[in-house]
Every structure is written in C-alpha cells, then in structure tokens.
C-alpha cells in the first residue's frame, strides 16, 4: 500500500510564528496518540509568511478520518490557532518507494 501524503499550505502572521513553533511538539504528540495511521510530519517555512506541512499517512482512509476529527485535542488546537489563513490542502501518494 502506498503512503498517502497530505500537503497543507497556510499563512502565519509574523506575530504568531513563535506560538506555531511552540505548539508543534504538542500537535505531533496528539497526532501520535489520537490519529490512526499517522506516520510522520515535516514543517517547511516558505517565503511571504507561508508554511507547508507535509504529513504522511498509512492510507487515504486514515487521512480522511483525521480530517474528520479536526482540532479535537489541546496540542492540535494550539497549533491550528496560530494559523492565520489556509491556502490549500492536497493529497497524493508517495512515488519514491514510501510504502508501509
């Protein structure tokens, strides 16, 4: 089964960057505890106050189930609260042997 990849691009106001970074560890801990099929995540800072979160899931179904939960735990809610604007969310599969 190919790993599902979530690509979420968002903007963070400069005054909330430290809050976003401080909340990251709690968000990842909550994902590991509560999100079936969560594998890994990488956060990339882009120009113009934009960020890209690259999240890997065991399957498309696991990603869909996670989206349905939203910000249901404090660490996830704190991370989401620092986001000023959602730019895009895309879903794909790893093509470089990322199979689990």
**Is residue 7 very low, low, confident or very high in pLDDT (cuts 50, 70, 90)?**
very high
Q: Which among 51, 57, 70, 45 has a CA at the least distance from the CA of 100?
A: 57
Enumerate residues 6+ apart whose C-beta is below 8 A from 67. none
Per residue in 33-42, pLDDT (tens digit) is 999 999 999 9
CATH number for 12-92: choose from 3.40.640.10, 3.40.50.720, 3.30.70.100, 3.30.420.40: 3.30.70.100
pTM above 0.75, yes or no: yes
Mean local confidence (pLDDT), 25-30: 98
Domain ranges in the chain are 12-92
Tokens representing 100 are: 């689990």
Point out which residues pair with 56 in neighbouring strands: 5, 40
């Amino acid at each position: 089964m190919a790993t599902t990849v979530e690509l979420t691009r968002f903007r963070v106001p400069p005054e909330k960057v430290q809050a976003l970074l401080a909340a990251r560890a709690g968000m990842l801990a909550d994902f590991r505890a509560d999100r079936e099929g969560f594998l890994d995540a990488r956060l990339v800072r882009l120009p113009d106050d934009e960020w890209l979160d690259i999240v890997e899931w065991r399957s498309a179904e696991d990603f869909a189930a996670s989206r349905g939960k939203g910000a249901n735990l404090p660490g996830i809610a704190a991370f989401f609260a620092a986001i000023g604007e959602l730019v895009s969310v895309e879903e794909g599969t790893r093509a470089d042997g990322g199979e689990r």
